[in-house]
Amino acid sequence: MATGALDTNGVWQYGEDDVEPTFSDLLNLLASSTSDAIAAHYASLAARLSLLESNTGWVSLSAALATGTGGAALFTASSGFAITKVGNRVTMRGRVDPVSGSNWGAVDSVVTVIPAGGIPAQFRPPQSQAFQAPSNTAATTFRVGFVNDGSLSVRCSTANYTGSCWFNCVDMPVND
């Protein structure tokens, strides 16, 4: 190679006609090219690392619960019904119950627990996701839809079930 140049990785490859007046200048050329290569990638690495380290803390979802006619409550939630985002992972916790005298409806009927827009945008998945959530009894399970419009829907496997739907440790990826 006649003249030195940066390779595809941004590291200086020396040529036969590279002129450096002193040995220290030659060594500094190597250090400089390596430093340039590191600096070129540092910004993207720093941005990715800050995503991994970001943490929103727990945000309550109780106020977002669906309401009926005249704003009447359809559900009650444990005081810990909340969501958090650490990096690009979202976790929900807590439980939701139908109000006293109510139930989850017919088998597999879709019940909207949180209407569209109720879950803040930074916690929403890029595509709707479904997961299974436990109940108070082994005979009953819930299928939960975490929708990218900010809503949360539930389907119960037992007709007219009045127990809790638990959201402990539900962990989902989201895009930023």
Question: Domain range for residue 67?
Answer: 59-173
**Encoded tokens for 151:** 């809503």
Asked if 116 and 160 sit in the same domain, the reply is yes
Range among 12-21, 44-53, 95-104 rated most confident = 95-104
How much is the pLDDT for 133?
Answer: 83
Tens digit of each residue's pLDDT (9 = 90 or more) over 154-176? 899 999 999 888 887 666 777 65
Asked if 109 and 91 sit in the same domain, the reply is yes
Please give the C-alpha separations between residue 73 and each of 35, 66, 95, in angstroms, as whole numbers: 61, 7, 15
Looking at the structure of the chain, the number of domains it has is 2
User: pTM to 2 decimals?
Assistant: 0.65
What H or E segment, with its residue span, contains residue 142? strand 141-146
How much is the pLDDT for 107?
Answer: 92
Please give the C-alpha separations between residue 114 and each of 101, 153, 175, in angstroms, as whole numbers: 20, 7, 21
Q: For the ranges 3-17, 53-67, 143-157, which has the lowest average pLDDT?
A: 3-17
Asked if 114 and 29 sit in the same domain, the reply is no
